[in-house]
Copies of this chain bind each other. A is one copy, B any other.
Amino acid sequence: MTQNYQDILEDIYHETRPLLGQGRVADYIPALAQVDHSKYGIAIETLEGKSYQVGDANIPFSIQSISKVFLLSMVIRVLGKKLWSRVGREASGTAFNSLVQLETEHGIPRNPLINAGALVVSDCLCTFSPQPLRHLLEFVRELSSNPQIQYDSLIANSERKFGHRNAALVHFMKSFGNIKNDVDEVLNIYFHQCALMMSCVDLARAFLFLANEGIHPHTQEALLTPSQSKRVNAVMQSCGFYDESGEFAFTVGLPGKSGVGGGIVAVVPKRLSICVWSPELNAKGNSLVGMKALELFTTKTGISIF
């Protein structure tokens, strides 16, 4: 089986490279628009300790919304079930609906993996952590066993400059009483988590604890309880791909999370984690090549949770 994964990754890589050029790099902030379109990498980390890589798997990129899973894990670890009084666990329907639903549901976002939800989770972190940005960075470095991971401050500033929609969401939720801290502090955490720079290898390592019932595969530390870990996976399954979450479940069939930087991470419970990066996005905002690569991965390996 070991050798297989390397062969399969290379097959996928060669089959899907011709798709490069068909998507569109995120351009809502200039810092993202400048990324090299042709970058493409995949990394697998298994619970047995094996690593497989192809392409640009070691180049750090802006992980964007993938970081929402790190925030969620940090906060669930501390607050446990209390979190769920402030954020739901259901898919959001369209982007369009999220604002309506904030209104009709009195400032409670649908789930922690949409922007509104991650802003509430950032607010929770802000409440219990005296140095939330340092805290988050340490958590991610520990998960990846990579002390070099950094925030890209150009991207964080760019996010802030063009972040009026996120500012609108925080103010709106604060008007319902569902943001406890200062609006600018909450936004600062949010804009920085978007700007974490990690490679496919970093991300595959960092998500491996979610394939391992919450236990860090190297240090054996229980970061989450088995039940918490299973539930983070369930939330990724239901809500990890915006309005393409059902589509991802349908074609790939694994819990995962995408970011507009072009990264997608997926978890095969009890076996491995896999990260693909290709900056060009499809119409729904998920990596076009990444979606296809993961579909091929489950097809070629027969791996599925269903």
Contact = CB atoms under 8 A, between A and B. Distances in A.
A19 interface: no
Contact of A238 (B97, B110, B235, B245): B245
A259 interface: no
A79 interface: no
Contact of A230 (B111, B164, B169, B306): B306
Interface stretch (A31-39, A61-69, A88-96, A275-283): A88-96
A175 B165 contact: yes
Interface stretch (A51-59, A189-197, A199-207, A246-254): A246-254
Interface string A75-96: 0000000000000111111101
A288 to B, nearest CB: 18
Contacts of A231: 250, 306
Contacts of A91: 90-91, 93, 238, 245-246
A104 B283 CA distance: 17
Interface residues of A, number: 50
A99 B99 contact: yes
Contacts of A169: 168
A243 interface: yes
A165 to B, nearest CB: 4
A88 B246 CA distance: 9
A255 interface: yes
A140 to B, nearest CB: 22
A91 B237 CA distance: 12
Interface of A: 88-94, 96-97, 99-101, 103-104, 110-111, 162, 164-165, 167-172, 174-175, 183, 229-231, 233-235, 237-239, 243-247, 249-250, 253, 255, 269, 304-306
